[in-house]
Chain A
Amino acid sequence: MSTDEVAPPRALRPSRGPGALSTGPGPVAGARRGRWLLPLLAVGLLVAALAAAGSGQVAVPFEEVLGSVLHRLGLDLGPLPTHPRGDDTLWAVRFPRVAMAVVVGAALAVAGALMQGVFGNPLAEPSVVGVSAGAAVAAAASIVFSLGFAGDWTIAVCAFAGGLLTTLAVYALARADGRTEVVTLVLTGIAVNAVAGGALAFLMFAGDTQAREQIVFWQLGSLNGSRWEQVWVVAPLAVGGVVAALLAAGRLDLLALGERPARHLGVDVERLRVALVVVVALLTAAAVSFCGIVAFVGLVVPHLVRMVTGPGHRVLLWASMLAGALVLVVADTVARSFVAGADLPLGMLTSLVGGPFFFWLLRRTRRSAGGWG
């Protein structure tokens, strides 16, 4: 180790760095392999969404779902649903739910990929480090204390504030000497999740029956009862977050080199980090506001995508967005049709799959790191 590894007296913070969210320096072409993945995922998502919308107690055949969509778009193509309540069910219940799955899945997967890039750690994920729980606490508080300062947006605003606060806390607590080690990150996550769990418990204790029910619903995570009004709150947040993430893709690649080398290549690391932490909180809030904690999507999806496309963030973020949406559409369909007549909690399902995956990833990371005492 050289002397430069010792904490410097003060880091250089240039007054005029490149705008943190503008398209700054940092393209990495290399990740050309896996370009076929994007169209494949897009088609897969479209098919899955239509199929998901058709399945349920009122079953609508695939071509009728397609026909209904085309007719709404003003195209006189395909058959309309033959079931008397078919069209209503599709547009009032199924499509908002599917749309919510798309938005939340994309937001969670991109949030995960982004967080991993910011922390330089493939195990970082909003639910693992407790950001989802932090957002849920703030959202639950807004219910228990009947806050309504921003109308329909109140819950989302609170979730964002909670998520932002938690992300900043994790960022401050888990970093040492400009790096975030796996052990520190995971342990910080345990601590943050414990505190958030305590706060949620208190809110459940303090709230009335209705509030309590809603908090339980958050902890389980579900898309049940998604409405268009909610989608219209969540979608702009998610779109904004994803666009911001995509603009930072090139610089995220450079960040993988470490703080100093990234700075030597023209990246204003501090500003980029802070900006992206805000974006992570925004995306997490979008996901948590109405659907609660759906864990591990941001861990599993980017990891699987990376196996195909390599680590370049340009492709990774696009593919994670589509794959996250696809995974959640499929998972939600499974959740509501696995047991007839029962709407299983989505968060339960993703945790059952994601938990073991996280463990496997942890073991693998440990092996490649040669153990951590």
Chain B
Amino acid sequence: MSGGPALTARGVTVRFGATTVLDGVDLDVRRGEVLALVGPNGAGKSTLLTVLSGDVVPTDGKVEVQGRPLEAWRLADLARERAVLTQSNHLAFPFPVADVVRMGRAPWRGRVEEDADDAAVAEAMRATDVTALADRPFPVLSGGEKGRTSFARVLAQRTGVLLLDEPTAALDLGHQEHVLGEARRRADAGDAVVVVLHDLGLAAAWADRVVLLHGGRVAAEGPPRDVLTSGLLTEVYAHPIEVLPHPVTGDLLVVADRRSTRQETR
């Protein structure tokens, strides 16, 4: 693999009708790094991810995968380079969990990597703690179990780039840590991981780099300690936010200052 970024976005602008959702976003996604996309609702995080994954063609700007324009890739080849976890957990037919995870191996069919199918599926299911659910039909799972199964499918795809849209949504605290820890391990092994997160504490704990989006633009970019500051977050989220180090672990704690809100509700 070349030394350049796994994914690059330059001047990406997306307009839905008169609304500008993304406005000239530049982004480099590097191997060996967890990149967190954060920002308030409607900041354009998910849209940016759909642009990176090739679902939405930007109105302006370009995206390159391994230095090659996204639109020049064949879908089948692209599926061996990057895996995408979407927020939707819909399944039209009641496939069992093990089959859903195995769908992640589809891009490798007819190649030498196909031999690793069973191992990849088993490993992904272990990593996401869904091995015990293997025979359960997907539709009867809880929201969190569905989310973990979908994440397992994405892991089983064994691609060098992972694009994850809120992988911790609907997960309990333990599984949130577990999922991001797995993303962390993949990055340490040399993969490039982009993850959309709402929980700034999780972003602070697991990301190497944070991109803070605000109104479709990059408001700040850098290591968590530089981006996740009280002043910047208070401004972007339009709500007083405190950032402080954990007294024991030293981790960044991002908490809302609720004094003013409580007063209003009183």
Contact = CB atoms under 8 A, between A and B. Distances in A.
Contact of B106 (A30, A31, A250, A268): A250
B157 A258 contact: no
Given A4-B56, A9-B57, A265-B103, A311 B86 contact: no
Contact of A268 (B42, B75, B93): B75
A368 B138 CA distance: 13
Interface string A10-23: 11101111100001
B98 interface: yes
B106 A264 contact: no
Contacts of B84: 260-261, 264
A102 B148 CA distance: 44
B14 interface: yes
Given A3-B42, A12-B54, A260-B86, A265 B79 contact: yes
A254 B54 CA distance: 18
Interface in B130-158: 139, 157
Given A4-B56, A263-B75, A312 B99 contact: yes
A253 interface: yes
B55 A11 contact: yes
A273 interface: no
Most B Cβ at <10 Å: residue of A26, A255, A266, A306: A266
A82 interface: no
A21 to B, nearest CB: 14
B55 A14 contact: no
Nearest to A266: B79
Nearest to A120: B92
B76 to A, nearest CB: 4
B109 A25 contact: yes
B96 A28 contact: no
A311 B93 contact: yes
B266 interface: no
A14 B93 CA distance: 27
A12 B99 contact: no
Given A4-B56, A25-B109, A260-B55, A312 B92 contact: no
B47 A28 contact: no
B165 A2 contact: yes
A115 B84 CA distance: 27
Given A12-B55, A257-B91, A265-B79, A26 B99 contact: no
A268 B71 CA distance: 13
Nearest to A258: B90
B6 to A, nearest CB: 16
A25 B99 contact: no
Contact of B98 (A15, A25, A30): A30
Contact of B55 (A4, A265, A266, A268): A4
Contacts of B59: 9
A310 interface: yes
A265 B56 contact: no
A16 B69 CA distance: 13
A337 interface: no
Contact of B157 (A15, A265, A267): A265
A28 B14 contact: no
A320 to B, nearest CB: 13
Contact of B103 (A6, A120, A257): A257
A256 B90 CA distance: 8
Most A Cβ at <10 Å: residue of B74, B98, B106, B110: B106
A265 B101 CA distance: 12
B75 A256 contact: no
A121 B93 CA distance: 8
Given A25-B109, A30-B102, A310 B21 contact: no
Contacts of B47: 3-4
A12 B56 contact: yes
Nearest to A29: B102
B7 interface: no
Contacts of A266: 75-80, 106-107
A34 interface: no
Given A4-B47, A4-B55, A260-B84, A28 B75 contact: no
Contacts of B15: 9
A354 B227 CA distance: 62
A254 B165 contact: no
B53 A264 contact: yes
Contacts of A15: 71
A264 B95 contact: no
Contact of B99 (A28, A117, A264): A28
Contacts of B95: 28, 30, 253, 256, 310-312
Contact of A122 (B14, B88, B93, B108): B93
A17 B90 contact: no
Contacts of B100: 257
Contacts of A31: 99
What 5 pairs across the A-B complex have the smallest Cβ distances?
A266-B79, A30-B99, A311-B93, A120-B92, A266-B76
15 contacts: A4-B56, A8-B16, A26-B106, A120-B93, A257-B91, A257-B103, A258-B90, A260-B50, A263-B75, A264-B83, A264-B84, A266-B106, A306-B93, A310-B94, A310-B96
Given A28-B106, A266-B75, 14 more contacts: A4-B86, A14-B54, A15-B71, A17-B76, A25-B76, A27-B109, A29-B102, A30-B102, A117-B92, A120-B93, A256-B91, A257-B90, A258-B88, A265-B107
